[in-house]
Amino acid sequence: MKITTANRGRTAVVKISGRIDVYTASSVGEAIQSLIVDGASNVIVDLTSVPRVDSSGMGTLVGNSKSITSLGGVLCLVGPCEGIRRMLEITNLAKYFRIHTGVDEALDELEACAAGRAPSWAGGN
């Protein structure tokens, strides 16, 4: 598994390549927590190169989503494959995330929210 990060203002983008499972979940969690500690208001987790997330990985993502939400931020998931999307829906965990098809889409919506414009996911969309 490979993790890269980039800052886009107060939003951090985490790109993950490989599985997020019992062996790698802690590394993902540490990377996200480090970004939050360093001042990221929002975190975008790019899953376009992640083929699978097991229950440990999902727990890490949900836990970090709860952490950043408690600080007034948002954790977005970008590009989850069909299997990951299905797991999020079946387990009712999708409610913890804003899910986007691309990083630019997620950045645009977070920017709209910061500027006081309602993003498309606000108001039950």
Which CATH number do you get for residue 118? 3.30.750.24
CB atoms within 10 A of CB 102: 13
- What is the mean pLDDT of the segment spanning 50-69? 96
Tell me the pTM: 0.89
Q: Which residue has the tokens 């996911």?
A: 121
Whether the pLDDT of residue 124 is over 70: the answer is: no
Give me the pLDDT at residue 117, please: 60
Distance CA(91)–CA(103), nearest Å, equals: 24
Whether residue 46 contacts residue 15, with contact meaning beta carbons closer than 8 Å, is answered with: yes
Helix (H, G, I), strand (E, B) or coil at 52: coil
Mean pLDDT, the chain, whole residue set: 91
pLDDT digits (tens, 9 = 90+) for 22-59: 999 999 999 999 999 999 999 999 999 999 999 999 99
- Structural domain boundaries enclosing 90: 2-124
Count up the domains in the chain and report the number: 1
